[in-house]
Amino acid sequence: MSQTIDGARLTLLLNDLRLPAIKHGWAAFAERADKEGWPAARFLAALAEHEIAERDRRRIERHLVEARLLPGKTLDAFEFEAVPMVSKAHVMAICAGDSWIDKGANLILIGGPGGGKTHLASAIGLALVENGWRVLFARTSDLVQKLQVARRELGLEAAINRLDRFQLLILDDRAKGPLRNNRIDKILRTQGKNRDFRRHDAVACC
């Protein structure tokens, strides 16, 4: 199969079709198909599955970068035994996301200092990104300051539009600092009274 293909021309065609994973991997698949006697349909399906898998991997990588989650804060690293009131099964169900994010529900983590709220919130965010959701993790005070600066510089609408890309906002330390007066809510609602704010669901660490 591979011996009859003009590799240079195929590379150009795959570039035009924007299929980078197939472009870089087709030769190995073709060699295996020749050795194992794959029918054409199986060869084509393998290439398509490879392209889709690579697109998913790159998408998750991009979303992890933009999510700004805390490094090392994973569910595997969270000590559920140290916080017996937190149900691991419940947390795993939350990580699927489909039972609450689309409904506009909020998740609030409440507890004393050092109880692992921030770790758990970031870990849930990581799992949600891996499950296909777009997430942003931010300290509440930092987000408030950015929005205040954007409003002073007449760029609040653009700043809010950037937030609209995310399906979930994780707000750390929401009960501290500026949020005691609901300042972030006032900023958002002052800018757009008709905006649908239910799209954003805050995982709030108090």
Does 71 fall in a domain?
no
How many C-alpha atoms does 56 have within 13 Å on its Cβ side?
11
pLDDT of residue 188: 57
Does 15 fall in a domain?
yes
Same domain? For 16 and 84 the reply is no
Beta-carbon contacts of 46 under 8 Å, excluding residues fewer than 6 positions away, are 29, 33, 38
- Which CATH number belongs to the domain containing residue 117 in this structure? 3.40.50.300
Q: Which domain holds residue 57?
A: 2-63
Same domain? For 52 and 85 the reply is no
Same domain? For 23 and 85 the reply is no
Same domain? For 55 and 89 the reply is no
The sign of the torsion formed by the CA atoms of 49, 54, 55, 59 equals positive
Q: Quick one: tokens of 6? A: 């003009």
Same domain? For 32 and 100 the reply is no
pLDDT of residue 202: 47
Same domain? For 95 and 193 the reply is yes
Beta-carbon contacts of 60 under 8 Å, excluding residues fewer than 6 positions away, are 129, 130
Same domain? For 56 and 122 the reply is no
Antiparallel, parallel or unpaired: β 168-172 and 135-139: parallel
Same domain? For 57 and 108 the reply is no
Rounded to a whole number of angstroms, the CA Rg of the chain reads 23
Does 74 fall in a domain?
no
C-alpha–C-alpha distance, residues 150 and 134, integer Å: 22
pLDDT of residue 174: 61
pLDDT of residue 20: 95
Q: Find out whether 144 and 183 touch, Cβ atoms under 8 Å.
A: yes
Extended beta strands in the chain, E state? 107-109, 135-139, 168-172, 202-205
Same domain? For 91 and 132 the reply is yes
Total domain count, the chain = 2
Same domain? For 95 and 167 the reply is yes
Same domain? For 87 and 58 the reply is no
pTM of the entire structure? 0.77
pLDDT of residue 106: 84
The last residue of a domain, from among 63, 98, 116: 63
The last residue of a domain, from among 17, 38, 63: 63
Per-residue pLDDT of the chain (206 residues; tens, 9 = 90+): 445 567 788 889 999 999 999 999 999 999 999 999 999 999 999 999 999 999 999 999 999 999 999 999 999 999 999 888 899 999 999 998 888 888 878 888 888 888 889 999 999 999 999 999 999 999 988 998 999 999 899 998 899 889 888 999 999 876 555 444 455 665 555 544 444 444 444 454 54
Does 101 fall in a domain?
yes
Same domain? For 59 and 114 the reply is no
